[in-house]
Amino acid sequence: MDRNFIKKIRKIYFFSYIFLGVLAPFICLFFFPAFDPRIHPISYFGILNNTSLIFMISLIIFSITILWNGTTIIRKLIKNKKHKLILRSILLFASCCLFLTGIITMDFGILHQIPALFFFLSYNFFIFIFGVFRSFSYVRKGLFSVSVGSIMLLSSLLLIPFPSYGVAEVVYIFFIFFWNIIMWVQKESIPV
């Protein structure tokens, strides 16, 4: 297949991911305007009749997208084969956990909470370790990912002032989008 064609498909898919990431919460809020992240976790959309399908589809698409984008970022920006293997393993684990979080709703209690917790822990760990490995070649660029991974972990401190983990999830998701967009731009600026 033509490289330019594949590159165009990746761009379309990536921008669709961003569009869906912005649009899906608004659709869910339209169907459940009483949502308050200080009271409800984001996974609450997964158990409501009118938002459960879009929530599930969104998380499945996000899990595929972060895997695809992360894999291409690793391939382009990390040169050491051992580091690539470690990062791909962590990324695959995080993506599988997000996928399971989407298909196992909050109705299942601990069965939903376990993959959700592992996603939140493993994805920011992936970003942090990516930054550590990247800093071996580019200190400043690596420090960016280390900082974002650390801030994502620190977002869990938002559990202290709020009764729900919804606010922490919103901040965490913002940093997922932020990091993926910045890394996608860096990856695209490197010639093939």
Which pTM was predicted? 0.81
Taking the domains of the chain in order of start, what are their residue ranges? 3-189
Q: What is the pLDDT of residues 106-129, one digit of tens each?
A: 778 889 889 988 999 999 999 999
Cα separation, 98 vs 172, in Å, equals 13
Of 169, 176, 178, which Cα lies nearest the Cα of 38?
169
pLDDT band at 31 (very low <50, low <70, confident <90, very high): low
> Looking at 98-102, 153-157, 164-168, which range is the least confident one?
164-168
Cα separation, 73 vs 140, in Å, equals 17
